[in-house]
Structure 1
Amino acid sequence: MPRRNKEDMNINEASIFETLESEVRSYCRDWPAVFTSASGSWIRDENGREYLDFFAGAGALNYGHNNPVLKSALVDYIMSDGITHGLDMSTVAKREFLETFQRNILEPRGLDYKVQFPGPTGSNTVEAALKLARKVTGRSAVINFTNAFHGMTLGALSVTGNSMKRAGAGVPLVHTTPMPFDNYFDGVTEDFQWFSRVLDDSGSGINRPAAVIVETVQGEGGVNVARPEWLRALATLCSDRGILLIVDDVQMGCGRTGPFFSFEEAGIVPDIVTLSKSISGYGMPMALTLFKRELDVWGPGEHNGTFRGNNPAFVTSKVALDHYWSDDALTKTTLKKGARISECFANLSDQFPGEVSHRGRGLVQGLVFDQPERAGKVCQLAFDEGLLAETSGPSDQVVKLLPALTITDDELEHGLSILAEATLKVCS
Structure 2
Amino acid sequence: MSTDTSAETSIFNRRESEARSYCRSFETVFTTAKGAEMTDAEGRTYIDFLAGCSSLNYGHNDPDMKEALIEHIADDGIAHGLDMYTTEKARFLKAYEENILKPRGMDYKVMMTGPTGTNAVEAAMKLARKVTGRRNIVAFTNGFHGMTMGSLSLTGNAGKRAGAGGGSLADVTHLPFDGALGDDVDTLSQIEWMFDNPSSGVDAPAAFIFEPVQGEGGLNAASTEWMQGVARLAKKLGALLIVDDIQSGCGRTGTYFAFEEAGIEPDMITQAKSLSGFGLPFAALLIKPEHDIWKPAEHNGTFRGNTHAFVTGRVALEKFWSDDSFQKDVQHKSAILTAGLQAIADVLPDARLKGRGMMQGVDVGSGELAGDVCARAFENGLIIETSGAHDEVVKVLAPLTIPEETLRKGLNILLDAVRDATVNTKIAAE
SS in 1 for 2:102: helix
Tell me whether 1:127 sits opposite 2:126 in the alignment: no
In the TM superposition, 1:8-157 aligns within 5 A as 12-157=7-152
Match for 2:168 among 158, 166, 172?
A: 172
Q: How far did residue 188 of structure 1 move?
A: 2.7
Corresponding position of 2:390: 395
Match for 1:252 among 245, 248, 251?
A: 248
Tell me whether 1:342 sits opposite 2:328 in the alignment: no
- State the TM-score, normalized to the length of structure 2: 0.95
- 1:255-311 Cα deviation digits (max 9, x unpaired): 000110111011111110000000001000001100111001000000000000211
Letter aligned with residue 348 of structure 1 = I
Q: What is the distance in 1 between the residues matched to 2:69 and 2:24?
A: 32
Q: What is the distance in 2 between the residues matched to 1:328 and 1:359?
A: 25
Q: Is the contact made by 1:342 and 1:359 (CA closer than 8 Å) also made in structure 2?
A: no
Q: What is the distance in 2 between the residues matched to 1:33 and 1:326?
A: 38
Corresponding position of 2:349: 353
Q: What is the distance in 2 between the residues matched to 1:238 and 1:369?
A: 35
Letter aligned with residue 176 of structure 2 = P
SS in 2 for 1:420: helix
Tell me whether 1:308 sits opposite 2:304 in the alignment: yes
Q: What is the distance in 1 between the residues matched to 2:340 and 2:81?
A: 47
| Aligned length, in residue pairs | 417
Q: Is the contact made by 2:370 and 2:393 (CA closer than 8 Å) also made in structure 1?
A: yes
SS in 2 for 1:14: helix
Structure 1 unaligned blocks of 5 or more: 1-10
- 1:351-389 Cα deviation digits (max 9, x unpaired): 3332x2112211111111113211001100000001000
Q: Percent identity at matched positions? A: 52
Corresponding position of 2:276: 280
Q: How far did residue 61 of structure 1 move?
A: 0.3
Q: What is the distance in 1 between the residues matched to 2:10 and 2:389?
A: 31
Q: What is the distance in 2 between the residues matched to 1:93 and 1:164?
A: 40
Tell me whether 1:233 sits opposite 2:219 in the alignment: no
Q: Is the contact made by 1:123 and 1:151 (CA closer than 8 Å) also made in structure 2?
A: yes
Corresponding position of 1:215: 211
Match for 1:265 among 256, 261, 266?
A: 261
SS in 1 for 2:8: coil
Q: Is the contact made by 1:367 and 1:399 (CA closer than 8 Å) also made in structure 2?
A: yes
Letter aligned with residue 274 of structure 1 = T
SS in 1 for 2:84: coil
Q: What is the distance in 1 between the residues matched to 2:256 and 2:182?
A: 29
Letter aligned with residue 187 of structure 1 = D
Letter aligned with residue 35 of structure 2 = G
Q: Is the contact made by 2:366 and 2:390 (CA closer than 8 Å) also made in structure 1?
A: no
Match for 2:378 among 383, 388, 396?
A: 383
Q: How far did residue 114 of structure 1 move?
A: 0.5
Corresponding position of 2:286: 290
Corresponding position of 1:8: none
Q: How far did residue 18 of structure 1 move?
A: 0.4
SS in 2 for 1:252: coil
Structure 2 unaligned blocks of 5 or more: 1-5, 424-430
Q: What is the distance in 2 between the residues matched to 1:89 and 1:196?
A: 44
Letter aligned with residue 234 of structure 1 = V
- 1:102-131 Cα deviation digits (max 9, x unpaired): 000001101110110010100000000000
SS in 1 for 2:9: coil
Letter aligned with residue 190 of structure 1 = D
